Amino acid sequence: MDPITDPGILGGYLTDASNLHGRAAALYRPRTAEEVAEILAECQRTGTSVTVTARRTSTTGAPVPDGGVLLSTERLDRLHALDDVDGGVLLGAYQAEVERAGRLFTPDPTSRNECSVGGAIACNASGARSFKYGPTRPWVDAVELVTPTGEIRWIDRTTPLPWPVPQWAEPAVKTAAGYYPATNLLDLVIGAEGTLGVVTRARLKLLPLPTAVLTVFTYFPDRASLLAFVAVARTMGPRCIESFDRHALDLIRGRVPDVPVAHAALLLEIEHDGDAPLDAWFDALAAHAALLDDTIVAEDDAGRARLHAVRHALPATVNEIIARNGVQKVGTDFAVPAAALAEMMDAYEQPDMATVCFGHMGDSHLHLNFLPKDADELAEARRRYLALAKKAVSLGGTVSAEHGIGRLKKAHLALMVPPTVLDGWRAVKRAADPAWVLGRGVMFDP
Ligand SMILES: Cc1cc2nc3c(=O)[nH]c(=O)nc-3n(C[C@H](O)[C@H](O)[C@H](O)COP(=O)(O)OP(=O)(O)OC[C@H]3O[C@@H](n4cnc5c(N)ncnc54)[C@H](O)[C@@H]3O)c2cc1C
């Protein structure tokens, strides 16, 4: 395959949603696993670093190259069967196809209409529905993997680990930080952020589409009522409990009129068999001082899509502000045990800095986004981020619940993972990728 070296084309591939900028000598856009294998074998032979880039929605600099060559998955774009799809296919387009056939592929990162299936597998992405269904991992049955040495193989949960993998105790929360303490090769590759191979194709697990989904967007006057309601809501079986703090509501109000002034809001989704459990939910809301007159209920897909658009507008608006201010993103991705959520929310209060906090409250996983205006504020935001990361770890939480480590969060991973485990991962990486060419500089360094 001839590489593309035209700077006009390459320029479109050198950054991601974190706004980190990189450099690369060339770009490959393979169409088949064989072409991917040829590129990787050659790079392994010459010791040239290869960064896999998909749709570049990563918020951690993971697909941003630091020299070497780029391997884009965009042309690995075929749907082979409803549950068998190439790694470069757009996740949202794939899900729409699956849903037209009455099935559900549950992983739903907010970025699903911009990110790829392979990117979601590489990052073990989560989303709002992960509260009920977990992250991407359990919904992947097998992948076609091109190894860093250029071998093509299908792997599944019967594929043994070729090397010992540290069996470390991950925090008991939703987490996507570091290599999984896997007992088979598939589980190790899922969430390895593209450092152990290229996912060219995947066989996925689908569910029947739920008969109906009730969506509720509601507001709370204070923290105590909000948290008391969330504790009850967790026991009522919704598929998501998403939250928005008052600053997030201010941003939403800029795009959607009639958003009331409130302490916080929640978006809930409840699957049901056709008989919407409205009374039970309204009773619970009323018992916890929710602002019932302002509560919006959507009983159909179109109404849910409108509320989702509001939810999705938030991270996109934050990313736009960051890019406009010419700074990099400083946004937390910590999850903590439910019992520590209130303490973590206290720590997220930053009265003297512009922030927005929203996210997956069901999983005690909130994104506090700093909105620095200049380099000084950026440096201050990073200092505070580090203190918050230490706090999350001290509470038994994770430094990344879903976005991964990438290039920007390596120091934070080391706060949570013992040096012996990091050394064990380095040994795995060296065994899989002797010249350390794939995703060099991602997750941890040699
Ligand atoms: C607005 C917004 C909202 C987001 N919301 C969520 C969310 O709710 N939940 C969540 O988990 N994440 C979220 N993210 C982060 C991001 O969307 C996900 O991590 C996504 O899975 C990345 O997919 P991508 O195709 O863009 O991959 P990229 O960003 O291009 O790459 C990400 C990493 O995966 C590797 N990679 C990509 N494809 C492959 C492949 N086929 N084989 C091997 N390695 C590969 C890359 O090398 C890189 O290390 C959000 C991002 C944005 C911008």
pLDDT at 274 over 90: no
The CA distance from 329 to 340, in Å, is: 25
Please spell the DSSP secondary structure of 41-60, one letter per residue.
HHHHHHT--EEEESS---SS
Mean pLDDT of 92-117: 96
Q: What is the pLDDT of residues 424-436, one digit of tens each?
A: 999 999 999 999 9
What's residue 19's pLDDT? Answer: 85
- Evaluate: CB of 30 within 6 angstroms of ligand 1: no
Ligand 1 touching residue 438 (CB < 6 A) = no
pLDDT in the model for residue 174: 96
pLDDT in tens, 6-20: 999 999 999 998 889
Mean pLDDT of 278-300: 95
* 115, 369, 438, best to mutate for ligand 1 pocket (most atoms within 8 Å of CB): 115
pLDDT bin (cut points 50, 70, 90) of residue 423 is very high
pLDDT for 318? 86
- The verdict on the CB of residue 116 being under 6 Å from ligand 1 is yes
* Any atom of ligand 1 within 6 Å of the Cβ of 54: yes
pLDDT band per the 50, 70, 90 thresholds, residue 198: very high
Q: What percent of the chain has pLDDT over 70?
A: 100
For 151-189, what is each residue's pLDDT tens digit? 999 999 999 999 999 999 999 999 999 999 999 999 999
Q: Which residues contact 354 (CB under 8 A, 6 or more apart)?
A: 247, 370, 371, 372, 373
From the alpha carbon of 16, which atom of ligand 1 is closest? 29
DSSP state of 438: B
33-49 per-position pLDDT tens digit: 999 999 999 999 999 99
Query: How many A from CA of 115 to the centre of ligand 1?
Result: 6
Closest Cα to atom 21, ligand 1: which residue?
120
Q: The whole model's pTM is what?
A: 0.94
Nearest residue CA, atom 18 of ligand 1? 58
Lowest pLDDT segment from 96-110, 134-148, 254-268: 254-268
| Nearest atom of ligand 1 to the alpha carbon of 76 | 41
C-beta contacts of 393-397 below 8 A and 24+ residues apart:
393/171, 395/336, 395/337, 395/340, 395/343, 395/344, 396/171, 396/172, 396/173, 396/336, 396/337, 396/340, 397/171, 397/173, 397/334, 397/335, 397/336, 397/337, 397/340, 397/344, 397/364
Neighbours of 427 (CB within 10 A): 14
Per-residue pLDDT, 279: 95
- Each residue's pLDDT tens digit, 312-353: 778 888 888 988 998 877 899 999 999 999 999 999 999 899
Give the torsion sign (CA, 381, 375, 329, 197): negative
